[in-house]
Amino acid sequence: MIDAKIPAGDLADKWNNYKDSSKLINPANRKKLDIIVVGTGLAGSSCAATLAEQGYNVKSFCFQDSARRAHSVAAQGGVNAAKNYKNDGDSVYRMFYDTIKGGDFRSREANVYRLAECSLALIDQAVAQGVPFAREYGGYLNNRSFGGVQVSRTFYARGQTGQQLMIGAYQALMRQVSAGKVKTYTRHEMLDLVLIDGKARGIIARNLETGEIERHVANAVVLATGGYGKVYYLSTLAMGCNSSAIWRAHKKGAFMSGVSWIQFHPTCLPQIGETQSKLTLMSESLRNDGRIWVPKKAGDERVPNDIPEEERDYYLERRYPTFGNLSPRDISSRAAKERIDAGCGVGPMKNAVCLDFSKAIREQGRDKIEEKYGNLFRMYDKINGVDAYKEPMLISPAAHFTMGGLWVDYDLMTTIPGLFALGEANFSDHGANRLGANSLLQSCVDGYFIAPYTIPNYLSGELKAEKVTTDHPAFIDAENNVREQLNRFLNLKGHLSADHFHKTLGKLLYDKCGLSRTRKSLEEAIVEIRSLKKSFDHELKITGDEGVNSELEKAGRVSDFLELGELMCHDALQREESCGAHFREEYQTPDGEAVRNDKDFCYVSAWEWKGEAVEPELHKEPLVFETVKLTVRSYK
């Protein structure tokens, strides 16, 4: 059985107990230890910078041309913290409870409590770095509400909270580069993990400019490589987002958890054509003032503004009167899909719902709405050529955030000693559904406040470990495997592009392992994905050489997505309940609400790789609730 190593003590004392008893390393010895951090988003940059401040030698890798471009920049709405600045009843415990409940009771109490606890220090840290959070006229920090909660605990910087936090973390990282404690490797992609004596001791990376394959050795490896929602091709993610680092670590022995728990964001721009590459996210904060509706009548061909008030169905306000338009994401997305499937969708492909600001503009005035969401309205106009001050936005659910990822213990260490996973790359804090504005929080908290305690705790045992160099046979083997795969891609004589396979896989997953799933759809998907993988292995066509070659980069990523997609289906198939974002149609109430099964499924599924097209092996980590009582999650 796998052990999460939760510290002893009352819930509120666990993290302090851990910090009080974790092992330390004296400053002189820190200089002797090297740490590789892959990924430079909020989790990666903050972790690399903080470890460097402590005195460790850090190598930081990213595939982008600058650390600042990691996809954390795209988070718009905000970051949660239990500061209770609004004096509206917030507290660490309440934030913990909202998050556990929001995750449909499928996350660890201890991890979630720590997340809420560390949220306080994060806001302090970000403000000290110069993050320009919104302020009231008196000069104090402002807050707004996000889905799934009844207090205002979301700090924000217009619609660019992720970008501004990212700039803070990036600048902290650049400061350490200039101090000589961090060396950055931009335009580098990790292609394998190197294990020596069962421990993570380095990576193989490809220089994306020169094509050179490089070996890098360290005493610990941190993966902060983000989520894999791009497996669906059409998603809110950046084009380069991928699962390759975590997937290759998985194939080296790190378990994966919650793999099929993917959040579909309810407020994205709908698909309008076949050549589309992206479903742009419109911040959830819009739901503070926008009302969501569809025509009451199926197949209504009128444009939204021509549909009179009494013929509109404000279905979230109708079904969930307490939370209304601020219902959590999984529930809002499913409710949208339900109406779209019922034929009430709007827009040219009938695949969208209306997000209407007319009431808010009438009550607050256009200026106020413009101040709050101006950049989002501008973005909407740019993409669609439509003025959303005058007619409703058309929105639709899209693949967004992966609650799943590498299994980690309380130390954020994977099942491979010395391999840590931070931020969206791990599975830990959000259970089966993430609440809005908890993603920025988790990546920052993992990187600034947790890993800088837990990694030294591990490294203290490594000071006396045998020195290894990149000449070790494990490095040579790993490098050879990487070269072999790249050569195979370049020499395939097929006729289909990597994008073709990616789009086919994405559509298949949307249909069969998307917002809702059934046993039948998942079993079909597994067969189809295996056959798609076979076709990929023979019919792929890559042009160009081993230098700068975006097609070669895509090929490796799509190959990994195909294997990961299959695991997602196994995970969704095995879990015969509905919880959070995982909605199995067989398990629902007559009025369409999810039915969780705590008797049989109150555990974390941790999957072990057993080989290509072989059933993965399931390990279970029971979820023990000492503080909260498991209840039916209701927002009605």
Partner 1 sequence: MKLYLKVWRQEHRDSKGGMISYEVDGISEHMSFLEMLDLLNERLIQKGERVIEFDHDCREGICGACGMMINGRAHGPLTGTTTCQLHMRSFNDGETVYIEPFRATAFPVLRDLKIDRSAFDHIIQSGGYISASTGQAPESNSIPIAHEVTEAAFDAAACIGCGACVATCKNSSAALFTSAKISHLVLLPQGKLESADRVVSMVNQMDTEGFGHCSNTEACEVECPQEISVLHIGRMNYEYNKALALRK
- Active-site amino acid positions: 329
Q: Token digits for 358?
A: 């007319």
Q: Token digits for 330?
A: 């999984």
Residue with tokens 């020596």: 196
Mask: binding to partner 1, 109-128, rule CB under 8 A, as x and -? Answer: ------------x-xxxxxx
Contact 568, 247 (CB under 8 A): no
Mask: binding to partner 1, 135-174, rule CB under 8 A, as x and -? Answer: xxxxxxx---------------xx-x--xx--x--xxx-x
User: Which positions from 213 through 252 interact with partner 1, judged by CB under 8 A?
Assistant: 238-240
Q: Which is nearer to partner 1, 79 or 573 (CB)?
A: 79
**CB burial string 339-363: b at 16+ within 10 A, e below:** bbeeebbbbeeebbbbbbbbebbee
User: Which positions from 174 through 203 interact with partner 1, judged by CB under 8 A?
Assistant: 174-175, 177-178, 184, 186
User: Which positions from 441 through 460 interact with partner 1, judged by CB under 8 A?
Assistant: 448-449, 452
What are the DSSP E strand ranges found in 361-519? 393-402, 405-406, 419-421
**Among 276, 351, 485, 535, which residue interacts with partner 1 (rule: CB under 8 A)?**
276
Q: Which is nearer to partner 1, 157 or 213 (CB)?
A: 157
Q: Could you give the CA distance from residue 409 to residue 427 in angstroms, rounded to a whole number?
A: 10
Number of continuous H segments (helices) and E segments (strands) in the chain: 18, 19
Q: Could you give the CA distance from residue 400 to residue 228 in angstroms, rounded to a whole number?
A: 9
User: Which positions from 467 through 526 interact with partner 1, judged by CB under 8 A?
Assistant: 495, 497, 499
11 DSSP 8-state letter = G
**Among 17, 21, 132, 298, which residue interacts with partner 1 (rule: CB under 8 A)?**
132
CB of 618 to partner 1, least distance (A): 35
Mask: binding to partner 1, 37-66, rule CB under 8 A, as x and -? Answer: ---------x--xx--x----------xxx
Cross-strand bridge partners of residue 223: 38, 421
**Among 27, 299, 308, 385, which residue interacts with partner 1 (rule: CB under 8 A)?**
385
Beta strands 603-608; 256-257: pairing state: antiparallel
24 belongs to the binding site for partner 1 (CB under 8 A): no
Helix, strand, or coil (residue 388): coil
Among 245, 320, 310, 158, smallest CA distance to 482 is for 245
User: Which positions from 337 through 376 interact with partner 1, judged by CB under 8 A?
Assistant: none
User: Which positions from 551 through 610 interact with partner 1, judged by CB under 8 A?
Assistant: 551
User: Which positions from 402 through 441 interact with partner 1, judged by CB under 8 A?
Assistant: none
Q: Count other C-beta atoms under 10 Å from residue 212's C-beta.
A: 12
CB of 325 to partner 1, least distance (A): 23
Q: Which is nearer to partner 1, 111 or 236 (CB)?
A: 236
User: Which positions from 299 through 338 interact with partner 1, judged by CB under 8 A?
Assistant: none
10 belongs to the binding site for partner 1 (CB under 8 A): no
How many angstroms separate the Cα of 128 from the Cα of each of 121, 169, 182, 446? 11, 11, 21, 18
**Among 84, 129, 145, 288, which residue interacts with partner 1 (rule: CB under 8 A)?**
129
272 belongs to the binding site for partner 1 (CB under 8 A): yes
